[in-house]
Amino acid sequence: MNYLSPKDIPSLYSAFTLLKPLSSLYPDFSNWYFDKVIPGVINGDDEVILIEKNNEIAGISIIKSGDEKKLRCVRISEKYQKTGMGLYLIDESLKRLDCAKPIVSVAQEMINEYSRIFINRYDFDISFVYKDIYRKGKLEYEFNGNQNLKKKSIIF
């Protein structure tokens, strides 16, 4: 396995292919990636970490290491899900952030996949549960937070 940190725009654009399905959970996801993440990578505030196996991109992580340490996104291709590769990618992300408990948020549809790992393996703390942050009527769970998300509706 190799970890890559692309900084050129063509590579960052091609990495988006793996992230595209997240647009159903986050309506402005494409705009966020192209308008915030790519410029953030170029100016050094963000980092995209790709994990490569057998000469193909198996996963992607986006981290922010400015004033706030954030694990912004983790995605593993379907072919490599349930292989432990996501854990390797999270471990590498935490190492590069130099932070054991970065801020992370998780959509309600994905909380069952991540909560056990975040709590049991990484000792993350659930800080807040929000409603209507990204989609009307849907919950967003924040770990290790500081009430950083939009303050529309905190329910926990």
Q: What is the pLDDT of residue 155?
A: 46
Give CA–CA dist 64/137, Å, rounded. Answer: 28
Which tens digits make up the pLDDT trace of 11-46? 999 899 999 999 999 989 999 999 999 999 999 999
Show the tokens assigned to 19: 């992230």
Phi and psi at 96, nearest 5°, equal: -70, -30
pTM: 0.90
* CA–CA distances in Å: residue 31 to residues 11, 20, 105, 138: 17, 11, 18, 20
Per-residue pLDDT tens, the chain, 156 aa: give them: 889 999 999 999 989 999 999 999 998 999 999 999 999 999 999 999 999 998 889 999 999 988 889 999 999 999 999 999 999 999 999 999 999 999 999 999 999 989 999 999 999 999 999 999 899 999 999 999 876 555 544 444
**Which residues, other chains included, contact 86 with Cβ-Cβ below 8 Å and sequence gap of 6+?**
59, 74, 76, 117
Q: What is the pLDDT of residue 146?
A: 74
Task: With residue 104 as reference, give the H or E element that holds it.
Answer: strand 104-107
Domains of the chain: 2-99 (3.40.630.30), 103-156 (no CATH)
CA 156 to chain centre: 22
Q: What is the pLDDT of residue 33?
A: 96
Q: What is the pLDDT of residue 156?
A: 41
